[in-house]
Amino acid sequence: MADYRTPRTRTYSSGGTHSAAARQARYRASRRKRGRLPAVIIAGIILFLILCWVFGRGCGGDKEAQQNEELRKYVISVNKTIARSSAVGNQFDELRKEIASVAREDVDKRLSEMAEECKRIAKDSKKIVLPKKAEDIHPLLEVCFDMRTEGIGKFRTSILEVIDEKATEKTEEVMSDGLLDLVISDAMLARFRTKLESKLTALKLSYEKVADSRFVQNEEEALPQSVSNFIKSLSSPETGNEIHGVAIIALTTSPQKEDSTSSGVSILPKAESFSVKVTVENQGNQEEKNIPVVAKLTTDTGASQVKTKKIAKLEPKEKTVLVFEGLKPEVGAEAQNTLTVEAGPVRNEKKTDNNKMTLKFIMKSQ
Whether 25 maps to a domain, the answer reads: no
| Amino acid identity, position 79 | N
**One domain for residues 152 and 117:** yes
**Quick one: pLDDT at residue 27?**
58
Judged against a pLDDT cut of 80, whether residue 11 lies above it is answered with no
Length of the chain: 366
Q: Is the pTM of this model over 0.75?
A: no
- Rounded average pLDDT over 68-96: 94
Q: Span 337-350, mean pLDDT?
A: 92
Where do the H-state alpha helices sit in 127-168? 138-163
At 192 the pLDDT is 95
Q: Give the DSSP H or E segment for 343.
A: strand 337-343
Domain-located, residue 6 = no
Contacting residues for 287 by C-beta, under 8 A, at least 6 apart: 313, 314, 315, 316
**Is the same domain home to 219 and 261?**
no
Domain boundary among 180, 200, 234: 234
User: What integer is the mean pLDDT of 229-245?
Assistant: 71
pLDDT tens-digit map of 157-179 = 999 999 887 888 899 999 999 99
State yes or no: pLDDT of 60 exceeds 90.
no
Q: Which residue, among 138, 136, 142, 137, has the nearest Cα to 122 in the 3D structure?
A: 142
**In angstroms, rounded to a whole number, what is the distance separating the alpha carbons of residues 140 and 144?**
6
Residues 291 and 227 both lie in one domain: no
List C-alpha distances in Å: 257 to 83, 131, 137, 251, 364: 48, 67, 62, 12, 11
The pLDDT confidence band at residue 238, using thresholds 50, 70 and 90, is very low
Is residue 352 a part of any domain in this protein?
Answer: yes
Q: What is the CA radius of gyration of the chain?
A: 46
Residue-level pLDDT at 286: 87
The pLDDT tens digits for 243-253 are 889 999 999 99
pLDDT band at 13 (very low <50, low <70, confident <90, very high): very low
Q: How confident is the model at residue 257 (pLDDT cuts 50, 70, 90)?
A: very high
Structural domain contains residue 40: no
Domain co-membership, 334 together with 188: no
For residue 55, is pLDDT > 60?
A: no
Q: Which of 204, 234, 264 is the last residue of a domain?
A: 234
95 and 218 share one domain: yes
Split into its structural domains, the chain has a count of: 2
Q: Are residues 106 and 211 in the same domain?
A: yes
11 inside domain: no
In a domain, 20, yes or no: no
Question: Which residue range(s) make up the domain with 192?
Answer: 55-234
Last residue of a domain, one of 201, 234, 267: 234
Q: Kindly state whether residues 276 and 227 are assigned to the same domain.
A: no
pLDDT top residue among 167 and 268: 268
Helices and strands (DSSP H and E) totals, the chain: 5, 9
Domain annotation covers residue 3: no
- Please indicate, yes or no, whether residues 266 and 203 belong to a single structural domain of this protein: no
Is 28 inside any structural domain? no
